[in-house]
Protein backbone atom coordinates (compact mmCIF):
# COMPACT_ATOMS: atom_id res chain seq x y z
CA UNK A 1 0.00 0.00 0.00
CA UNK A 2 1.83 3.04 -1.27
CA UNK A 3 0.76 6.61 -0.45
CA UNK A 4 2.51 9.34 -2.39
CA UNK A 5 2.76 13.08 -2.15
CA UNK A 6 4.16 16.12 -0.44
CA UNK A 7 2.68 16.76 3.02
CA UNK A 8 3.23 20.50 2.62
CA UNK A 9 1.65 21.15 -0.76
CA UNK A 10 -2.12 21.31 -0.28
CA UNK A 11 -4.02 18.50 -1.98
CA UNK A 12 -0.75 16.84 -3.00
CA UNK A 13 -0.81 15.33 0.50
CA UNK A 14 -3.98 13.33 -0.17
CA UNK A 15 -2.24 10.06 -1.06
CA UNK A 16 -0.14 10.17 2.11
CA UNK A 17 -3.11 11.13 4.27
CA UNK A 18 -5.41 8.42 3.00
CA UNK A 19 -2.88 5.69 3.68
CA UNK A 20 -2.16 7.15 7.10
CA UNK A 21 -5.86 7.24 7.98
CA UNK A 22 -6.34 3.70 6.71
CA UNK A 23 -3.33 2.44 8.66
CA UNK A 24 -5.20 0.99 11.71
CA UNK A 25 -7.29 -1.24 9.46
CA UNK A 26 -4.47 -2.04 7.05
CA UNK A 27 -2.11 -3.25 9.76
CA UNK A 28 -4.62 -5.98 10.65
CA UNK A 29 -4.37 -7.50 7.18
CA UNK A 30 -1.78 -10.22 6.57
CA UNK A 31 1.07 -9.48 4.19
CA UNK A 32 0.27 -5.80 3.77
CA UNK A 33 3.10 -3.32 4.04
CA UNK A 34 2.39 0.40 4.20
CA UNK A 35 4.83 2.82 2.57
CA UNK A 36 4.60 6.58 2.41
CA UNK A 37 6.87 8.09 -0.21
CA UNK A 38 7.63 11.61 -1.30
CA UNK A 39 8.09 10.99 -5.00
CA UNK A 40 6.44 8.69 -7.53
CA UNK A 41 9.82 7.72 -8.87
CA UNK A 42 10.39 5.64 -5.73
CA UNK A 43 7.61 3.34 -6.93
CA UNK A 44 10.19 1.79 -9.28
CA UNK A 45 11.97 0.28 -6.29
CA UNK A 46 8.82 -0.51 -4.37
CA UNK A 47 7.38 -2.71 -7.12
CA UNK A 48 10.29 -5.13 -6.80
CA UNK A 49 9.55 -8.51 -5.27
CA UNK A 50 5.89 -7.96 -4.45
CA UNK A 51 2.69 -9.60 -5.64
CA UNK A 52 0.46 -6.55 -5.78
CA UNK A 53 0.50 -2.86 -5.00
CA UNK A 54 -2.13 -0.23 -4.41
CA UNK A 55 -0.80 3.24 -5.16
CA UNK A 56 -2.67 6.34 -4.02
CA UNK A 57 -1.67 9.71 -5.43
CA UNK A 58 -2.93 13.14 -6.32
CA UNK A 59 -3.81 13.60 -9.99
CA UNK A 60 -4.67 16.53 -12.19
CA UNK A 61 -6.28 16.12 -15.58
CA UNK A 62 -4.01 18.05 -17.95
CA UNK A 63 -6.89 19.85 -19.63
CA UNK A 64 -9.33 19.93 -16.74
CA UNK A 65 -12.51 17.97 -17.14
CA UNK A 66 -12.56 16.23 -13.78
CA UNK A 67 -14.14 17.80 -10.74
CA UNK A 68 -11.79 18.23 -7.77
CA UNK A 69 -12.27 15.38 -5.32
CA UNK A 70 -13.12 12.89 -8.07
CA UNK A 71 -11.63 9.49 -7.26
CA UNK A 72 -10.31 7.48 -10.19
CA UNK A 73 -9.43 3.79 -9.99
CA UNK A 74 -7.46 2.01 -12.70
CA UNK A 75 -5.54 -1.26 -12.95
CA UNK A 76 -2.27 -1.81 -14.76
CA UNK A 77 -2.35 -4.00 -17.84
CA UNK A 78 0.56 -5.49 -19.76
CA UNK A 79 1.42 -2.02 -21.11
CA UNK A 80 1.31 -0.33 -17.72
CA UNK A 81 -1.32 2.01 -16.36
CA UNK A 82 -4.02 3.64 -18.47
CA UNK A 83 -3.99 7.37 -19.22
CA UNK A 84 -5.81 8.44 -16.06
CA UNK A 85 -2.70 7.70 -14.00
CA UNK A 86 -0.35 9.63 -16.23
CA UNK A 87 -1.65 12.86 -14.75
CA UNK A 88 -0.27 11.73 -11.42
CA UNK A 89 1.51 14.64 -9.78
CA UNK A 90 4.53 12.76 -8.65
CA UNK A 91 7.94 14.36 -8.64
CA UNK A 92 10.32 14.77 -11.51
CA UNK A 93 7.63 14.10 -14.09
CA UNK A 94 8.69 10.52 -13.65
CA UNK A 95 5.70 9.38 -11.71
CA UNK A 96 3.67 6.32 -10.97
CA UNK A 97 2.60 5.76 -14.57
CA UNK A 98 6.20 5.89 -15.76
CA UNK A 99 7.40 3.62 -12.96
CA UNK A 100 4.74 1.02 -13.72
CA UNK A 101 5.27 1.41 -17.46
CA UNK A 102 8.96 0.78 -16.99
CA UNK A 103 8.32 -2.38 -14.98
CA UNK A 104 5.86 -3.48 -17.68
CA UNK A 105 8.41 -2.85 -20.43
CA UNK A 106 10.86 -5.06 -18.56
CA UNK A 107 8.19 -7.73 -18.08
CA UNK A 108 8.35 -7.35 -14.31
CA UNK A 109 5.06 -5.70 -13.47
CA UNK A 110 3.08 -6.98 -10.50
CA UNK A 111 -0.64 -6.36 -10.11
CA UNK A 112 -0.98 -2.60 -9.62
CA UNK A 113 -4.15 -0.76 -8.68
CA UNK A 114 -3.85 3.00 -8.95
CA UNK A 115 -6.24 5.24 -7.04
CA UNK A 116 -6.03 8.88 -8.00
CA UNK A 117 -7.73 11.91 -6.53
CA UNK A 118 -8.31 14.98 -8.67
CA UNK A 119 -6.81 17.98 -6.90
CA UNK A 120 -7.72 21.65 -6.68
CA UNK A 121 -5.11 23.33 -4.49
CA UNK A 122 -1.38 22.67 -4.66
CA UNK A 123 0.07 25.83 -3.16
CA UNK A 124 2.84 25.10 -0.70
CA UNK A 125 1.60 25.45 2.84
CA UNK A 126 -2.11 25.34 2.07
CA UNK A 127 -4.45 22.77 3.66
CA UNK A 128 -6.58 20.28 1.74
CA UNK A 129 -9.21 21.97 -0.42
CA UNK A 130 -12.85 21.47 0.54
CA UNK A 131 -13.71 19.02 -2.27
CA UNK A 132 -10.65 16.85 -1.58
CA UNK A 133 -11.28 16.94 2.17
CA UNK A 134 -14.87 15.85 1.48
CA UNK A 135 -13.64 12.96 -0.68
CA UNK A 136 -11.28 11.66 2.00
CA UNK A 137 -13.63 9.29 3.91
CA UNK A 138 -14.73 7.52 0.72
CA UNK A 139 -11.13 7.37 -0.41
CA UNK A 140 -9.97 5.78 2.84
CA UNK A 141 -12.78 3.23 2.56
CA UNK A 142 -11.74 2.47 -1.01
CA UNK A 143 -8.11 2.01 0.06
CA UNK A 144 -9.09 -0.43 2.80
CA UNK A 145 -11.44 -2.34 0.52
CA UNK A 146 -8.76 -2.68 -2.13
CA UNK A 147 -6.26 -3.97 0.41
CA UNK A 148 -8.79 -6.49 1.78
CA UNK A 149 -9.50 -7.77 -1.70
CA UNK A 150 -5.83 -8.17 -2.58
CA UNK A 151 -4.76 -9.57 0.78
CA UNK A 152 -7.33 -12.35 0.32
CA UNK A 153 -9.34 -14.21 2.93
Q: Which residues bind another protein (CB under 8 A)?
A: 6-9, 16, 35-39, 41-42, 44-45, 48, 60, 62, 80, 89-94, 98, 101-102, 104-107, 122-125
Residue 94 or 148 having the CB closest to another protein: 94
CA 99 to CA 97: how far, in whole Å? Answer: 5
- Smallest gap, in angstroms, from Cβ of residue 54 to another protein? 17
Q: Which of 145, 153, 143, 148 is nearest to 35 (CA)?
A: 143
- Smallest gap, in angstroms, from Cβ of residue 100 to another protein? 9
Residue 72 or 141 having the CB closest to another protein: 72
Q: Which of 98, 133, 136 is nearest to 114 (CA)?
A: 98
The answer to whether 59 and 87 have CB atoms below 8 angstroms apart is yes
Radius of gyration of the chain (CA): 14
Residue 102 or 150 having the CB closest to another protein: 102
Amino acid sequence: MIGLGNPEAGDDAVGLLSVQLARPELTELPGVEIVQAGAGVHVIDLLQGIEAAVVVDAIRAPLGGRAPGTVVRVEAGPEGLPAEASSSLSSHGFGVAEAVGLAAALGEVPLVVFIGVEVAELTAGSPLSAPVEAALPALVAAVVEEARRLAGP
